[in-house]
Chain A
């Protein structure tokens, strides 16, 4: 039974592995161009396993932000994992030894969460182990290859590839904005506010990590206050996220947000 779950996890994790490789490639490349060594870039990927968080971390390291800024930025950007871990906590078999939860916690990414919650019934922790065993090496090796080629690629290639991660972010937020007007408002407001920080005389001095935190709290807070997600919709959205991930998985594009 455990072996079966493990195998199933590995099979479902394979498309995620390819998607991760591509995103991590960009991360490795950007890490090296920010002055981080290949080994350090790989270490970041192996210990964090989260794209948005790692890119934000890169920004803070580059701008020599404070340790507090690092902690707070990671907290805010990765806040959604709280929601996922709560959902996953319900989904896991109760009779499985509790220590498994400390290990699968490391692999709670948007995609692995997505395939886990879209399984029928309760799941065994071995399903997550299977997915983690395939997906995480994709993430780490992508970083390694990206970091190495980042040093070899000519400048014009690096310039073109540097926009890749933002393209992926857009591929996540734009389709969601089309379906939901509040999400569209959230996206536009967040872009406008972070732009204000870029150009306004005093706000300009705020470091980029804090700009992301302040903007996220302001906009998501206002949206949650004025446009609360309906209860049924929230659970539907959760499922929707799952099927969206499944969708991404089918296209072999596991991108973790």
Chain B
């Protein structure tokens, strides 16, 4: 089955817009359910974590360089560096690890 990329884009954009628009237009009061509030609070963390690992290990040319980038990013993130700094540290680590791997 072939898929049309414009239909993919339309679906993604449509769903995303509806999610943003409906509460804004319809809501008269706040969400009160503690479960729902908690669920929505945890969603971004669960989602980003699931997207990051193990996918990060296969994001570069080799698993070893990716693992180096992952480790460095973890340390930088733990030190609460800014988003851009953490990302750049990961890139630099991958770059150097791949240069080292050439000689191994």
Contacts and interface: CB of A to CB of B under 8 A. Distances in A.
B38 A224 contact: yes
A215 B50 contact: yes
A228 B38 contact: yes
A10 B34 CA distance: 35
Interface string B20-55: 111111010011001111111111111111111111
Nearest to A234: B37
B61 A52 contact: no
B24 A257 contact: no
Interface in A133-181: 155-157, 159-178
Contacts of B53: 191, 194-195
A203 interface: no
A78 B77 CA distance: 23
Interface of A is mostly: helix
Contact of B20 (A44, A81, A178, A187): A81
Contacts of B19: 74-75, 78-79, 81-82, 85
A224 B24 CA distance: 24
Most B Cβ at <10 Å: residue of A36, A167, A198 = A167
Contacts of A50: 16
Scoring B21, B52, B76 by chain A CB atoms within 10 A of each residue's CB, the highest score goes to B52
Query: Top 7 closest A-B pairs, CB basis?
Result: A167-B90, A174-B77, A167-B87, A105-B21, A47-B13, A224-B38, A190-B49
Interface of B: 1-3, 5-9, 11-13, 15-17, 19-25, 27, 30-31, 34-56, 59-61, 65-66, 69-70, 73-74, 76-78, 80-92, 94-95, 98
Interface of A: 19, 22-23, 26, 36, 40, 43-44, 47-50, 52-57, 60-61, 64, 66-67, 70-71, 74-90, 92, 98, 101-102, 104-106, 108, 155-157, 159-178, 182-183, 186-191, 193-195, 198, 208, 211-212, 215-216, 219-221, 223-225, 227-229, 231, 234, 237, 248, 251-253, 255, 257
